[in-house]
């Protein structure tokens, strides 16, 4: 639970549990958290993995860093404080998806290890799967489709991760992908194979398949 500024807020228990929803969906809920530098392939990979899971009838949703800053986090900048608040909000949204028995794919630079750990702590053990999109700064800059690195180098963008703001590499992620050298297809299959068994419900999956 977060810290509330109001003392007049009481937690409302719900009739359906996460387990009820997971049984209905036929699989467990999971956060697949893609972290890495800008240009490391997080968003591309998250969307491709979601498409792969969707073809297998898993219930999914992708949360993308840029998209979230057009809505829920539109009021935030890129200072350290705003980055922390950005990931806090995303973590709470991701937790709701997991509580709904869904697989949520979150693609965020999320440069600070402590923020990623806070999101991990929001859900049950085994419900957070961290994927480090490991790509060198040189390759990320060479991909600079949005021109962000060029602007950061020119001093037009402040607090840019990898240039003027630090990125803390995950120490023990569930999966490390060489997104600088591997194809998207190869990375997708690595993620899919790694998470598929984690979200299976056994009998519930068999029952779902029998009723197709």
Active-site residues, by number, are 110
Q: Torsions phi, psi of 8, nearest 5?
A: -100, 25
Return the DSSP state at 144. -
Nearest to 134 by CA among 95, 101, 175, 92: 175
Between CA 42 and CA 48, with CA 47 as vertex, the angle to 5 degrees is 100
Q: Torsions phi, psi of 62, nearest 5?
A: -105, 130
User: 75: helix, coil or strand?
Assistant: coil
Q: Exposed, middle or buried: residue 38 (CB in 10 Å: 0-12, 13-18, 19+)?
A: buried
């Amino acid at each position: 639970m977060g810290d509330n500024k109001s003392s007049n807020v009481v937690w409302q228990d719900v009739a359906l549990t996460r387990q009820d929803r997971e049984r209905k969906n036929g699989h467990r809920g999971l956060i697949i958290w893609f972290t890495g530098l800008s240009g490391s392939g997080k968003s591309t990979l998250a969307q491709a993995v979601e498409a792969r899971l969707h073809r297998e009838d898993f219930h999914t949703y992708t949360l993308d860093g840029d998209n979230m800053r057009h809505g829920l986090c539109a009021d935030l900048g890129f200072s350290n404080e705003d980055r922390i608040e950005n990931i806090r909000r995303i973590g709470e949204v991701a937790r709701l998806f997991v509580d709904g028995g869904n697989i949520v794919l979150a693609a965020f630079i999320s440069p600070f290890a402590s923020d990623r750990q806070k999101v991990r702590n929001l859900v049950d053990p085994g419900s957070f799967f961290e994927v480090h999109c490991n790509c060198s700064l040189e390759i990320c800059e060479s991909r600079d489709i949005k021109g962000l690195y060029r602007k950061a180098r020119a001093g037009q963008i402040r607090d840019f991760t990898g240039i003027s703001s630090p990125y803390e590499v995950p120490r023990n992620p569930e999966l490390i992908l060489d997104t600088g050298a591997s194809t998207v297809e190869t990375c997708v299959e690595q993620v899919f194979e790694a998470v598929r068994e984690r979200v299976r419900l056994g009998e519930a999956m068999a029952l779902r398949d029998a009723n197709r």
